[in-house]
Every structure is written in C-alpha cells, then in structure tokens.
Structure 1
Amino acid sequence: MPKPNHKNKIAIIGAGISGLSAAAYLTQAGNEVHVFEKHHQPGGRARQFKTDNGFTFDMGPSWYWMPDIMDNFFSDFGHKTSDYFELVSLNPQFEMIFSDMKIDVPESFEEMKSLFESLEKGAGQKLEEFMKSAEFKYEVGMKDFVQKPCHSWLEFVSPKIAQSALKLDLLSNFRSYVGKYFKHPKLRTLMEFPVIFLGASPKNIPALYSLMNFGGYKKGTFYPMGGFYQLILGMQKVAENQGVTFHFNQNVEKINTEKDKVKSLLINGETHNFDAVVASSDYHHTETLLNQNERNYTEDYWKKRTFAPSCLIYYLGLNKRIPNLKHHTLFFENDLDEHIDAIYGEKKWPENPLFYVCCPSKTDPQVAPEGSENLFLLMPLAIGLNDEEETREKYLKDMLIRLEKHTGQADLADHIVYKRSFCVSDFIKDYNAYGGNAYGLANTLKQTAVLKPKIKNKKIKNLYYTGQLTVPGPGVPPSIISGKIVAKELINLKNA
C-alpha cells in the first residue's frame, strides 16, 4: 500500500478481528495507529478465557474455514500462519446427527463424493459439478467481489464481473440452487448448513454463497492448536510489529467533531485528538457516540434490517472423557425450517431447536485437564429475546439429553465441573451488539454489497466503519477483509 505524505494519528475503536486487520494495514502504510479496546484483551467475539480448574475456552468462532484468507493476511506482512500457530486438518471435518442416522463429513473430497453417492445415485458426480461452480464463485467472490468498498454499483462494472454475472447466480436463491443438484433431504440439509449463520433462511440467501461450501468442505476444516484465539494473538503480534499501540480497558464514550471532521475521542473520561477514526465497534453503537445529525442511519433504519442470529452458548468443563464425540458435531434431529422460522419469522425461542457442539479437547490436550473434556454448545436464536437464567438452563438440559443419547453416556450434568453461559444480553453488555446479535447483518440480497451500511460516514470526512455490520459481511475471513478495505480507503483519502 502507498505511504502517506505525512504521518497521521489514527484511532481504531475496538480490537476485534476487523480492528486488528485495519490497524496492521494502516500502520504498514506509515500512520501512527492507536487501538482502544474496552476489554482487557483483543479479539472481540473471538476472545478466550481460562478457568481456575484448567480449562481454556474460545468464546466465539470455532470453525477455521477459508484458510487462504488468513494466509493472505499474514503474507501481506511477510509472514506465514505457521509462524504463529500450528493448523491441524480435522478428519472428519464434522459430524451431522439426524433423527434416524448420522453423517461424518470426511476430510478427503474423493471420500465425500463416495458418501454422497451412497445416499443418492449420481450425487457424487453432482457434488463434483457443484464444487466446480462453487470454486468459480469463490475465486471471483473472495478475490474480487468482497474486496470492494461498495460506495457505488459502478465498482462492479468490470469486464470480469460482467462476464461472470450469470455464473455467480446472484439472483437465484440458495435453496433452489442446492435442489437442482441434490434430491436427498439429508444431502440438501448438509449443503444448506453453512449459510444458516449468514443470517437468513437458505430461501433468502443468494446462490452465490455456495462459495462457502467450497471454502469449507472442499478447502477443509482446520483447528489452530491452542484454540482459535491463536489467530487473534498472531494478528496482534503482526500489528505490534508494524508499530500499532494497543490500549486495553479503554472505553470510548464520545466521538467529538468540529465542522465536518472528527477532532477527538472521549476515552475513560479523557480527551485524545486524532486525524482520523476507524470504528471496529458495533456500527449502531458507534453512531450513538455521535450527535444525531451526524449519523449515517436512524433508529428506524436499524429496526428494519434483517440481522444474522444471536445465540445461546454454554462453556462446559467435564471431569470425564466422552466417547463417540467428534471435534465438531451438528445436532439436526429436528426440522431446520421450523428453527429458522423461530429466528427470522416468529422471533421466539425455538420449540425443537438444532444446536452445535464443539469439543476441542478431542484434538487439543492443552484446552482441558487430563481425563477431562472441553465442550462448547451453541444454539442459534433470534435477536432481542429475553434470556433469563431459567430459560437458558431449560435449553441446556435439552441439549445434554440429546448429547447423552448420541454418545451413549448417562448423567453428563453430574460431571460438569465448570459452567458458564453467554446469550443475547451478554452480547449487548460485552460488545454493545445491536439486539444482542452474534454474527452481524444477514447476507440477504437486499443487504448485499452497496446495500449494506456504508464504510464511510456521509457527513464526517475522517470517520470510517469496519466489521460484520458493514462490507463484506459476517464471519472471520470477511472481517479480516473488511479491515483491509477500510485501511485502503483511508490511505487513499490521505494521499488524495
């Protein structure tokens, strides 16, 4: 990236993934960058905590997909991911539990084709075709599409994108698209699973996002030894090596402006001057730090957005090993559409939920004491729900019963030696998350690209936004890319 003519003092609000990414790129370009984080550690939703009795829990992301995006970040600074952590490829990638069978998704693509063929004649070949098309979408989508700042649709007017437009399947929905390839209901569910966390029913997600199947199933599912937090620590080291200064336990209380520019930030009661500000904090929350007439969007605007889910998470430490459990397990014994409707339609607690279990101690002995198991349980939910303790516990019981049935283990609750829950109100408290959202804005067609909240404040020249509520969208790889996009914009502005 080009060096600016003079050093600018830039503040970044929040040390989440997009903030870490933006900080590293902005400092690489010669700016003086300060990151202010209200917690005592970096990572945002991807924080980690350790318990007194020897468990280490990643608090959020646990699926290491699209490894090339992480590789690209480190290589931009002359490093490799392996300089910071050891990646292990999971086999099986994950297990999916249905009411009448279970499916192990193998690491090898050839084995995956055999698995599909065993469930539906011709599905092996169909999977090959699906992935070829998904690879094309991945190449254009992740290398071209998602790198745009999305100020205007004109950014997408290029011969490459024009030629690709039809093949990108932007206007067909994901469910119908999957249905063209596979008839078996279990295979359809398996292919639809990755888009659930994009924040809408597969009926409302563009078929473009089959690129996620390629980025996950075909490229593989990985795990960084020591936990997902190793990625955060690696990104922090890269940023610090560039010269970024981190300030922890620092809460930004107000963005002070003069004419059409940010002049300073009020942080823990003190005023600090800056030449520009990048907000990696929750977009809606950031705007409440401005005067009403300086905000990009009204309260009404946010109320009308479709948000990706919130979730109920349980961090459990058990003093026994659990046989018959894989690193990642999806419990899909109940109806997918019914749970999706509870999230996006009726916006209520689901009656027959689906949920996900991560057991990193199957792969990593560092995250639990010997003879113990580390469990992370996650159930997607609508935003804005009441999540009192009694309700959380009711769902924990349900999840444990189903876990016992699957593993053949009884009385798992009696072996819990550490328990902590995290839900809607915790997302609000810890991350100022609008409605307690966990994943950002849904990637529906009406909220894609230029139709997402803008990365630049329309009234204040030197205020930018990054992260999962703006472009390119929710997830770890998009957040890394979001930080790079915003850094590039700010560098271009300073060089203009």
Structure 2
Amino acid sequence: MRKTIQIIGSGFSSLAAACYLAKQGNEVTIYEKNSTIGGRARQFKKDGFTFDMGPSWYWMPDVFERFFQDFNKKPSDYYELIKLNPAYRVYFGINDFISIYDNLEEIKYTFETIEKGSGQKLQNFIDHAKSNYDIAIKDLVYRPGISPLELITKETALKLNQFFKNVSADIRKNFKNERLIQILEFPVLFLGAKPTKTPSFYNFMNYADFGLGTWHPKTGMFDVVRGIEKLALELGVTIKTNSPIEKIIVENKTAKGVVINGEIIKADIVLSGADYQHSETLLEKEHRMYSEKYWENRIFAPSSLLFFVGFDKKIENVSHHALFFDVDFNQHAVDIYDNPKWPEAPLFYANFPSKTDKTAAPDGMESGFFLIPLAPGIEDTETLREEYFEKIITRFEQLTQQKIKNNIIFKRTFCKNDFVTDYNAYKGNAYGMANTLLQTAFLRPKLKSKKVKNLFFTGQLTVPGPGVPPALISGKLAAELIQKSLRS
C-alpha cells in the first residue's frame, strides 16, 4: 500500500533512503532547510571558482556501484570518475613529501625505498586489510545495528581479537619509520577517532586507500549529489528546499507529520536525515530516546576549520590532494580528543580540484580548499580563523617553496559556528560520531525510534557511521526498516 513519507534533510543518507522508498512505491518528499541540496556535501561557486563544501575524497567505489545497482543503474549513468595519480601527497618538510600512487606495486616500492623490508610487510598488511574489508563492507555494514548478534558470524569470530586491539599498535608492530606509520594511520581519521582508539578491525580503511584507490568525480563530489538527485527524481521523489522543520508531530506515540513554516504537513512515516541530536529536539522530551547527558558523553568526530580560496595563478609543487604532516601528529590528536583546544601547530589538508577539473577555476587560476581538524564545541571567532589561516598558508608557502598570499582573489571561511547554523550539527561536529569500540554497530543511536512509532533516523550519527559510503548504506538500512514496519 502506497504510504506518504517525509524525509528531513537532503544529505547523502536522505537522498539514498528517498530512492529506495520511492522504488517501493511510496510517495516521498524531502525537505531541506537550506536553499540547495546535499547537506554537508553542498557546492559553493564564486567568481568562476567551484568548491565542494564538504566531502572531497571518493573512496570505496564498490559501495557507490552497489547503490546504483540496486536500481539497475551504474554510477557512469550519472557521473564520470577519474582515478587520481598520485592519489595524494603527504608533506613532512620543505620539498620533502611522499607521493601515494594509484597502484599497490608502486606504493610498495615507495615504502621499500624508505624502510628496507617494508614493501613485503605492506603487502601482507593490505592482504589482511582486504580480508577485513570483504567482511565489513560487503556484509557487516549492511546490517541495521539492532542486535549484537549481527556481528557474530563465522568470519568475525576468527577476528574477534581485532576489536580489542587498536590500529596504531598493529601498524607500529610492522613498521618503524614514523613517516610510513603516519601515512598508514591517516585513513582511519575518516572514522573520526584517534588511531590508538580505533579497533584493529578498521584497518580495512587501508585497503580502501591503497587497494581501491582515490577517485574524483569529473567536476567534483557534487556530481554524485546531482546524480542521486536525478535518480530520485526519476523515481518520483519530490524535493523542497528552504523548508526548515520546526516540529515533528506525534499523536498517540505515533509520528504523524511535520511542521514547516507554521504549516502542518501530514505523513504516514517521518524519516530524519538531519543531525540526530537536533532531530530529537524537534520532539517533546518524553518522545526523545537520548538525553542531553547521553550526547555529552559520546565521542564525536572532529569539527573543521575550512577555507575556500581563489588564486589568480596556478599553484606549483602540489597534487590534487595534499596532507601536511610537518608538525606533531600525536599532539594535534591530543588537542582534538584529550584536551580540546585550538592546536598550536595544526596538521592540515589542502585540496586543489582545479588540478584535475579545469572547470573548477578560470584559466590560469587555481581553486584551493584547506581544512584543519578541530575539537567540536570549542570557541570559534573570526580572529581565530584568520590567525590559523595565516599559520597554515605561511607553512604551505615554506613547504612547497612558493609565494601565494598575494595571489588570493577571495577567501571564504567555514567553521564550528557555521556547522551549527547550516546543519544543526551537535557542537559543530563535521563528521558525526566516532567509530570507537563502544560506538560501533548496535551501540550507535538507533535507526528506528523505540518511543515513537513510524519515526526513523538515518545519517552519520547512526548506523553504520561517518563518511559518504556509510551514509548511502545508512539510507538503505533505514528504508529497509521502514518497509519492514509497513508490512508488519
């Protein structure tokens, strides 16, 4: 029977869920508070420059393929992919960087030239990571986090000890060179926790990196948003922007619709892809599953200070993706997770999409995206933003041996306060809730409300966790639970 379903937010998880729910024959409408869709994956354009405002790494292409395959489609039906080579560079000092190429053999060679014997060790490590990837990404993450029994399979039983060890210890057991260690620890930062706090099982992220490679949609990650939007519209989904939700209507402990700009809009099912904590504030307190104390005690992934910069010349000595690890990696992690404060010497990431996509900047110019990971909930002022831009741009000039400050045409900043304002993000988090041992699978906030019938949740604060591929999976899981509830 056709049901009316309202979805709050238009990020990846909401768009994915909308596609599945529409395919099931339901009347689906997405309501987005901002003027454009995509959530954190929005796009920003100015003076001929184009920027992805959020995700900029296209990893785990098989997850995207599996998503489109569910609709008898392929990613190539909606957007074109380019494999980056090098995938990225990691800078450790002046003209001192390691390039990570687009195939494991070249990466092994790079490792071997830095640490004798590490090439074969890397092969063994990645083989092990691939085994975990096959278990996790092809199976476990597609389970809804209802019961701990979901994690118990013949395969996971053999790897149980990996949930009680950490990624950092495993890497350091095999590799001694600190630069190689940092490169191998880097991918788990996408999961939102320190490598010392991330279970060993999550080393599958290293296979996602070295085994599957880093890709770039032809004109940016927003191509993927547009692609899924096109699929959703083809399936009959309605999308309404400038539609902030003021309240979720509950009658007799059952979700009955939402209030938008004072107007009551009825529905059979409500699914929120907005920040989970914010979504529950749209309910009366007795209908919320999680208290403020609960959220205070969770470990959140970092917030970020972002800079979108237009340059009037081409930037040299840098790749599309560049990581700057010329300062103390561990101290920055302490400043995020252990003693939250602005780091004195921040690591940072830079992305120059116009290196790959000529439409991202006018001819002869460059679009630059800079990111500093920060603790969520800390003070955010324009003075601090400018101070930290000066810090990283000065280091960038030194490390890449070029002057670029005077070539800046414009600069837009985005930080904790903006994450709160634009996305209702708890404490201004950028990546959701960290995937630590006690915040994995069934220990994450639930996809289905236990207090309100016909109310569901999706996105990075619920199952399976942070990142674009997990968001697509989260949308599928929520849609499956909704369909199951409609049949019962």
TM range (shorter): over 0.9
Matches within 5 A, 1:391-410: 391-410=384-403
Alignment-derived partner of residue 349 in structure 2: 356
2:65 corresponds to 1:93? no
TM-fit CA distance, 1:153: 0.8
Alignment-derived partner of residue 221 in structure 1: 214
2:421 corresponds to 1:429? yes
Q: Find 1:77's aligned residue among 71, 89, 92.
A: 71
TM-fit CA distance, 1:160: 4.1
TM-fit CA distance, 1:182: 1.0
- Determine helix, strand or coil for the equivalent of 2:225: helix
- Determine helix, strand or coil for the equivalent of 2:461: coil
For 2:236 and 2:160, the matched residues in 1 are separated by: 41
For 1:104 and 1:78, the matched residues in 2 are separated by: 37
- Determine helix, strand or coil for the equivalent of 1:50: strand
Alignment check: 8 A CA contact 2:55 2:221 kept: yes
Alignment check: 8 A CA contact 2:103 2:210 kept: no
Alignment-derived partner of residue 68 in structure 1: 62
TM-fit CA distance, 1:157: 3.2
Alignment-derived partner of residue 254 in structure 2: 261
Alignment check: 8 A CA contact 1:13 1:280 kept: yes
2:338 corresponds to 1:334? no
- Determine helix, strand or coil for the equivalent of 2:290: coil
2:261 corresponds to 1:275? no
Matches within 5 A, 1:145-294: 145-166=140-161, 169-294=162-287
Alignment check: 8 A CA contact 1:19 1:280 kept: yes
Alignment-derived partner of residue 30 in structure 1: 25
Alignment check: 8 A CA contact 1:384 1:435 kept: yes
Q: Find 1:472's aligned residue among 460, 464, 467.
A: 464
Q: Find 2:448's aligned residue among 448, 456, 460.
A: 456
Q: Deviations over 1:13-38 (max 9, x none)?
A: 00000000000001111111110001
- Determine helix, strand or coil for the equivalent of 1:278: strand
Alignment-derived partner of residue 14 in structure 1: 9
Alignment check: 8 A CA contact 1:197 1:309 kept: no
2:303 corresponds to 1:310? yes
1:154 maps to amino acid: L
Matches within 5 A, 1:441-452: 441-452=433-444
2:251 corresponds to 1:297? no
2:19 maps to amino acid: A
TM-fit CA distance, 1:171: 1.5
- Determine helix, strand or coil for the equivalent of 1:143: coil
For 1:363 and 1:158, the matched residues in 2 are separated by: 42
Alignment-derived partner of residue 105 in structure 2: 110
TM-fit CA distance, 1:164: 4.8
For 1:426 and 1:313, the matched residues in 2 are separated by: 10
1:117 maps to amino acid: E
Alignment check: 8 A CA contact 1:150 1:449 kept: yes
Alignment check: 8 A CA contact 1:18 1:280 kept: yes
Identity of aligned residues (%): 48
For 2:144 and 2:69, the matched residues in 1 are separated by: 22
- Determine helix, strand or coil for the equivalent of 2:93: coil
Number of residue pairs aligned between Structure 1 and Structure 2: 487
- Determine helix, strand or coil for the equivalent of 2:472: helix
- Determine helix, strand or coil for the equivalent of 2:163: coil
TM-score, scaled to structure 1: 0.97
2:413 maps to amino acid: S
| Range that drifts further, 334-343 or 176-185 | 176-185
Alignment-derived partner of residue 117 in structure 2: 122
2:437 maps to amino acid: L
2:124 corresponds to 1:132? no
For 2:158 and 2:347, the matched residues in 1 are separated by: 40
For 2:152 and 2:112, the matched residues in 1 are separated by: 40
For 1:219 and 1:119, the matched residues in 2 are separated by: 23
Alignment-derived partner of residue 58 in structure 1: 52
For 2:14 and 2:475, the matched residues in 1 are separated by: 6
For 1:38 and 1:272, the matched residues in 2 are separated by: 15
1:485 maps to amino acid: L
For 2:288 and 2:317, the matched residues in 1 are separated by: 52
For 1:163 and 1:170, the matched residues in 2 are separated by: 11
- Determine helix, strand or coil for the equivalent of 1:370: coil
Alignment-derived partner of residue 347 in structure 1: 340
1:108 maps to amino acid: N
TM-fit CA distance, 1:180: 1.9
Alignment check: 8 A CA contact 2:159 2:201 kept: no
For 2:44 and 2:185, the matched residues in 1 are separated by: 32
For 2:58 and 2:406, the matched residues in 1 are separated by: 31
2:113 maps to amino acid: S
Q: Deviations over 1:65-99 (max 9, x none)?
A: 10111111111111111111111111111000013
Q: Find 1:45's aligned residue among 40, 47, 55.
A: 40
Q: Deviations over 1:201-224 (max 9, x none)?
A: 111101111111111221010111
Q: Deviations over 1:392-450 (max 9, x none)?
A: 0011011111111122212x221111210000000000000000000000111111111
TM-fit CA distance, 1:159: 3.4
Alignment-derived partner of residue 3 in structure 1: none
TM-fit CA distance, 1:298: 0.4
For 2:254 and 2:84, the matched residues in 1 are separated by: 49
For 1:16 and 1:80, the matched residues in 2 are separated by: 20
TM-score, scaled to structure 2: 0.98
For 1:434 and 1:392, the matched residues in 2 are separated by: 20
TM-fit CA distance, 1:122: 1.0
TM-fit CA distance, 1:104: 0.5
Q: Find 1:438's aligned residue among 430, 445, 454.
A: 430
For 2:202 and 2:150, the matched residues in 1 are separated by: 20
Alignment check: 8 A CA contact 1:322 1:407 kept: no
Unaligned 5+ segments in structure 2 are none
1:381 maps to amino acid: L
For 1:143 and 1:462, the matched residues in 2 are separated by: 28
Unaligned 5+ segments in structure 1 are 1-5
For 1:325 and 1:159, the matched residues in 2 are separated by: 45
